[in-house]
Amino acid sequence: MGSHLLFRLGLAVVVAWPAACSGTSPTQPHGAGTTGAAGIGQAGSAGMPGAAGSGGAAGSGGVPSGAAGTAAGSMSAGTSPGGAAAGKGGSAGEGGAVGGGAAGVAGAGGGGTAGAFTCNQVTGMTLAREWFTAGFESDAGIVDGRWQLKAREHGYITEWANPNSDFWNQQPESPCATGSTNPDHVVLVVLSWNPACCTTQPEWEQPIDAAVANLVAKYSALERIDLMTVIRGPNNQLCPTPPVANETISMSPELDAALAAVAAKHPGLVFVAPQFEAHDCAAFAGGGPHLTNAGNSAVAQDIALHFSALQ
């Protein structure tokens, strides 16, 4: 990363799956033609997804037409910040060795494989649009056809907390090739400049909780939600030039605590993204919160680096 701080993974908070998920990927031999045991995903290191669970070993020395092994790979969330990504299912098992049984099928609906989402949607406001359109989709690691943006000016968390807000009718920009109306992964950018809305942790939690409930209700295919803030100043500090009045580039600890608390209520569904920061104060237009074109381009690469492993 050179001399630049791309993002501070150490502060991202992710809720782990129960300790029963050991974070290894064992296989268990079985008799001829029997079903392989489910794989268990490897725990994720900081900011990275857990590895996919592999299918159980097929029965060896089987008889002709032995039954295929199956895999229902489960996911063990990373215990370090960043955590494991929700997935689409474990790896397929192999058929019986002698009988040439058919290959096992991948586990349906299980976690384990990072990403492979049909449609990833960034939901937010103008500040999110700025980095999204500054090169996020053109980054080498991002699959353009699987990403879209639903953003609107003043798209604050209070709007997404309202199930009847007209903001939900906003047409997606750069729509996904498939699943555009029903994304299975949403990156929700949480922001409000209104002090009457959100100052304390409980005051932040209430609209974030409501927005999560609305996303689940409106998108039946939804499998994962990542909560993130707008781009912060270096080390989450203000720059020498003051930001726009009543706005900031320093996110409060109450907001960060609320994001973690909401994720804790929805293990396996809601996660907290890294705290993305500008590389330096020169990245902002004045004191922020809007970034220059170059500043947005730089943070777009940072964000793409993280989400390319989760798409």
pLDDT bin (cut points 50, 70, 90) of residue 264 is very high
Q: What percent of the chain has pLDDT over 70?
A: 63
pLDDT of the residue at 140: 80
pLDDT bin (cut points 50, 70, 90) of residue 124 is very high
Strand locations in 181-264, DSSP E? 185-189, 224-228
Q: What is the mean pLDDT of residues 269-291?
A: 98
Q: Which of 115, 176, 127, 110 is nearest to 148 (CA)?
A: 176
Give the CA angle between residues 157, 196, 240 to the nearest 5°. 80
pLDDT of the residue at 76: 32
Least confident span in 11-25, 136-150, 264-278: 11-25
Least confident span in 49-53, 261-265, 266-270: 49-53
Residues in a beta bridge with 21? none
Which residues neighbour 18 within 8 Å (Cβ) at sequence distance 6 or greater? none
b/e sequence 105-133, b meaning 16+ C-beta within 10 Å: bbbeebbbbbbbbbbbbbbbbebbbbbbb
Residue 145 has what DSSP assignment?
G
Q: Residues 36, 30: contact at Cβ < 8 Å?
A: yes
Q: What is the DSSP string of 275-309?
A: EEB-SSGGGBSTTSSSBPHHHHHHHHHHHHHHHTT
Q: What is the mean pLDDT of residues 281-300?
A: 98
pLDDT bin (cut points 50, 70, 90) of residue 116 is confident
Strand locations in 134-184, DSSP E? 147-151
For residue 115, the one-letter residue type is G
Q: Residues 27, 294: contact at Cβ < 8 Å?
A: no
Evaluate if residue 303 carries a pLDDT over 90.
yes
pLDDT of the residue at 115: 58
Evaluate if residue 58 carries a pLDDT over 80.
no
Evaluate if residue 256 carries a pLDDT over 70.
yes
Residue in this structure with the two tokens 């939900």, named with its chain if needed: 168
pLDDT bin (cut points 50, 70, 90) of residue 6 is very low
The secondary structure element, H or E, covering residue 218 is helix 201-218
Per DSSP bridges, beta strands 7-8 and 275-276 are: antiparallel
Residue in this structure with the two tokens 């980095």, named with its chain if needed: 131
Q: What CA–CA distance (Å, rounded) separates 36 from 90?
A: 12
Measured CA to CA in angstroms, residue 184 lies from 72, 95, 124, 130, 199 at distances of 20, 31, 16, 23, 31
Q: What CA–CA distance (Å, rounded) separates 246 from 30?
A: 65
Q: What is the mean pLDDT of residues 46-66?
A: 35
Q: 69-85, pLDDT tens digit by residue? A: 333 333 333 333 333 33
Q: Which of 104, 28, 108 is nearest to 66 (CA)?
A: 104
Q: Residues 262, 270: contact at Cβ < 8 Å?
A: yes
Q: Residues 186, 219: contact at Cβ < 8 Å?
A: yes
Q: What is the mean pLDDT of residues 222-251?
A: 97
Q: What percent of the chain has pLDDT over 90?
A: 61
Q: What is the mean pLDDT of residues 36-41?
A: 39
pLDDT of the residue at 195: 83
Q: What CA–CA distance (Å, rounded) separates 242 from 289?
A: 10
Q: Residues 201, 162: contact at Cβ < 8 Å?
A: no
Q: 164-219, pLDDT tens digit by residue? A: 999 999 999 999 999 999 999 999 999 999 888 999 999 999 999 999 999 999 99
Retrieve residue 36's tokens: 């392989």
Q: Which of 280, 273, 283, 230 is nearest to 252 (CA)?
A: 230
- Global pTM value: 0.66
Q: What is the mean pLDDT of residues 233-243?
A: 97
How many Å separate Cα 15 from the centre of its chain?
13
* Averaged pLDDT of the chain: 74
pLDDT bin (cut points 50, 70, 90) of residue 96 is very low
Q: What is the mean pLDDT of residues 122-134?
A: 97
pLDDT of the residue at 87: 36
Least confident span in 89-93, 185-189, 276-280: 89-93
Helix and strand numbers (H, E) in the chain are 5, 7
